[in-house]
Amino acid sequence: RGLGDVYKRQALLGKVATEGVEYWRAGLLGKRRVRVDNHILMLGWNEQRTIHLIRMLQHEETGKRPIVLCTRSDIENPLPGEINFVKVNSYTDGKEMEKTGIESASCILIDNPEDDITLSAALYCANRNPKAHLLVYFKDEALSDLLHKHCPNSECIPAVGAVSYTHLTLPT
């Protein structure tokens, strides 16, 4: 074996390692499609409130359903190795939302800082997956009534902040 074979082998190992890191990084940045079924899909990012909700769900769902966080915010996966993460530009873009496994989610929870985005996301999700249990947080409770008229299966969480999640029990 010549020195050329050694260099080829090292180049191949370097390429494989680089591709592995790029694959891992794509997951951290939310650029990969998640491969889950019967999961909880969370749309929105409210920093510590979202982390608090994820922690409560993890406690309640230990070993049951995986959690997928989908956000438009420019963040990395806040809990790598614990939850799946998808970054999108719009909660109503079909191609981007496909990466979340929206059609196979058993529960979709929407908690976004802007009510108009929350409403459009809720309508879109109810259309894409009418069988999923839809939990939505609005600041303006009038929007709760509006959404419920169009999506009778939706459940709106009162606009009282993170404390309102303490009573939350998710259907399986």
What pLDDT digit, counting tens, does each position of 125-139 carry? Answer: 999 999 999 999 998
Output the pTM of the full model: 0.79
> What does the alpha-carbon distance between residue 75 and residue 28 come to, in Å, rounded to a whole number?
9
Residue by residue, DSSP assigns 26-85 as: HHHTT-SPP--SS-EEEE---THHHHHHHHHHHHHTTTS--EEEEESSS---SSTTTSEE
| Widest Cα–Cα separation across the chain | 76
pLDDT band for 148, please (50, 70, 90 cuts): confident
Residue 166 pLDDT: 45
Residue 136 pLDDT: 94
Three-state DSSP class for 140?
coil
